[in-house]
Amino acid sequence: MSPRRPSDDDEPAHANGNGRAHGPVDAERRGHADPLPTSPPIAPVASSPDAAPPAEQATPLRTLAHYSGLVLASMIGTLFRLGLEALGTYDGAVVFPLAWVQGVGCGIMGLALARKNQISWLYPPLYTFLTTGIAGSVTTFSSWMLEAYEAFANTEHYNRKGLHDTVNGLAYTFVTVMVSTAGLRLGKYVSSLLPRLPRPRRREDAVRMAKVDGAHDTASPSHAQGTRLLDLLTFVSAVVSYGAALALYFAAPRRWRHRATFAILLAPPGTMLRYALSKINARAPFLDRFPLGTFIANMVGTILIAGTYAAERRPGPASNALACTALGAIHDGFCGCLTTVSTFVVEMGSIRSERWRWAYVFGSIILGQVLVMAVAGGVGWGVGYGPACRPEA
């Protein structure tokens, strides 16, 4: 069995293969000496179909590919999130729009997580693209904290009495956790119904040869050349997609371009920062205890989104339309992608110690609410709030 790896969805598969091949029996095990063959026989790999791929070579180009893939993925995830919010916003809605966002995003995470090894056999940055990029950008911890604060504070001034506001805020938080957890499990179940992904033949043959030869480098020259080409194409896709987003911002119809395109321009930096912070999770003091990298990303994003909320509603002269649009882009793009619920839910189930698990879960939620209350609530109670500014039309 392979050594246990960190359960961080922001990391691609880096473990060695956990299914050992039954290689050819050598001369000592046979009990007699055979002449050395001209070429070593290649035995079939008797590993599980879900065996981990060989260790990924941490080259600068491969690292660049992981980060480059997050550019397009975060844009897709942000657009998906904005679309789900728009779809779930209507009069008389039974479920708040963000529940759809968190549930669908966690479903994508569950689907990819269940096929982590299969996806990593194809191309390791693809796993980062789907989990850190798509799922992590669809879900958002900061918006959850902000809307939960609005539920606790009754910012819409509904006619409530007693503990109604408290019950409403607790219900919002409880439903978010339940929907996200259910989405993750549903994604894993859907994965079990789908056919397995094929392994690249060249890479599998290279692994077999390496096991026969006892080599440490499992990448054949042809396979290494092919993956380098994929890494370069991933980088090119990042440049092209970001350039296309810039072109859309200046040339697309005004009725929708600013809300959508400004947000996706700020989405990649948020996702990349979250991915970089996730490296802290694998360090010895925090591994399997407290995912500090995810915690920092979620708390920083929560502070920023509370700041944009306060800035959009500050009293006095109306804000510049472009400035208001920029605040909305920070809210939807940068903060939405810097923070994540999909990783948070995965970590809820991966922390071994009950004490550390609940410390992480309740610590994240309670501190998140305290931060929003301090920033958004402090401004509201201090100088008051006016109507929200109007972005560019």
Long-range contacts (CB closer than 8 Å, 24 or more residues apart) made by 238-245: 238/68, 238/69, 238/70, 238/71, 238/72, 238/268, 241/71, 241/72, 241/75, 242/71, 242/268, 245/75
Q: What average pLDDT does the structure give for the chain?
A: 83
Domain ranges of the chain: 60-382
User: Quick one: average pLDDT of 119-131?
Assistant: 94
8 Å CB contact between 254 and 238: no
- pLDDT at residue 30, rounded to an integer: 40
Residue at token pair 């999909």: 342
Tokens of 317: 């002269």
Position 24 scores a pLDDT of 38
pLDDT above 60: residue 6: no
Of all residues in the chain, the percent with pLDDT exceeding 70 is 77
Identify the pLDDT of residue 7. 46
pLDDT at 123 over 50: yes
pLDDT digits (tens, 9 = 90+) for 52-89: 666 777 789 999 999 999 999 999 999 999 999 999 99
User: Mean pLDDT lowest for which of 108-117, 193-202, 259-268, 361-370?
Assistant: 193-202
Closest C-alpha to 213, from 43, 62, 85: 43
**pLDDT given for residue 371 in this prediction:** 97
pLDDT of residue 320: 80
Contact 69, 132 (CB under 8 A): no
pLDDT confidence bin for 17, thresholds 50/70/90? very low
pTM listed for this prediction? 0.82
Helix (H) or strand (E) holding 246: helix 221-251
Strands of the chain (E only): list them. Answer: none
Confidence at 129, pLDDT banded by 50, 70, 90: very high
The mean per-residue pLDDT over the stretch 101-126 comes to: 95
The pLDDT tens digits for 277-332 are 999 998 888 888 899 999 999 999 999 999 999 998 887 665 688 888 899 999 99
Among 38-42, 145-149, 227-231, the range scoring the smallest mean pLDDT is: 38-42
Res 49: pLDDT? 57
What would the pLDDT profile of 20-37 be if each residue is shown by its tens digit? 444 433 433 344 444 444
- Percent of the chain past pLDDT 90, that is, above it, reads 60
pLDDT of 189 > 90? The answer is yes
Question: Are 278 and 304 contacting, i.e. CB atoms less than 8 angstroms apart?
Answer: no
Cβ-proximal residues to 99 (8 Å cutoff; 6+ apart), any chain: 88, 175, 176, 179
Q: Interhelix angle for 254-277 vs 321-329, to 10°? A: 40
Query: What pLDDT was estimated at residue 388?
Result: 83
Residue 364 has pLDDT above 70, yes or no: yes
Question: Per-residue pLDDT averaged across 366-385, rounded?
Answer: 89
Mean pLDDT in residue range 245-268 = 85
Name which of 141, 131, 121 is nearest 187 in CA terms: 131
In 97-111, which positions are buried (b, 16+ CB within 10 angstroms) versus exposed (e)?
bbbbbbbbbbbbbbb
What is d(CA 207, CA 281) in angstroms, rounded to the nearest whole number?
29
